[in-house]
Amino acid sequence: MVIDRFYLSNGDSAGDLRELLSRLRVVDEECFSHHVNKKKNDFANWIKKCVKDKVLAKKIEKLKSKEKIILAIDKRINTPARVKKRIIRKIKEAILDGAS
């Protein structure tokens, strides 16, 4: 599935939640408040429409601080099960790289 990328006002972009998370960690207040303010929450919208994660979108919709949004996304994507899956994938990649 190809997701429409999210373009931040500072020129960065993200194609999935993991990318968005790393962009958010370094984004400045000016850019952040361009996307999240009294009128809108671009991140929540994008997560709902493009990532199609309604549960996370609903959570983020109400959040106004950068830290809280980062935490919510982090919690959503880095569940123990997903962390495990990612590590196993990396382990397999390393073996394929090393032994081929």
Q: How far is CA 72 from CA 6, 76, 94, 98, in A?
A: 18, 6, 30, 36
Any idea of the CA torsion for 87, 74, 9, 29, to the nearest 10 degrees? -130
Binding flags for other proteins, 66-85, as an x/- string (CB under 8 A): ------------------x-
CB of residue 95 to other proteins, shortest distance in Å: 5
Cβ density class 49-65: b for 16+ within 10 Å, e for less: ebbebeebbebbeebee
| 92 binding other proteins? (CB under 8 A) | yes
Q: Nearest CA to 74 among 12, 49, 15, 66?
A: 66
| 86 binding other proteins? (CB under 8 A) | no
| 88 binding other proteins? (CB under 8 A) | yes
Q: Which of residues 9-48 bind other proteins (CB under 8 A)?
A: none
| 94 binding other proteins? (CB under 8 A) | yes
Nearer to other proteins, 11 or 80 (CB): 80
- What does the binding site for other proteins look like in residue numbers (CB under 8 A)? 84, 87-88, 91-92, 94-96, 99
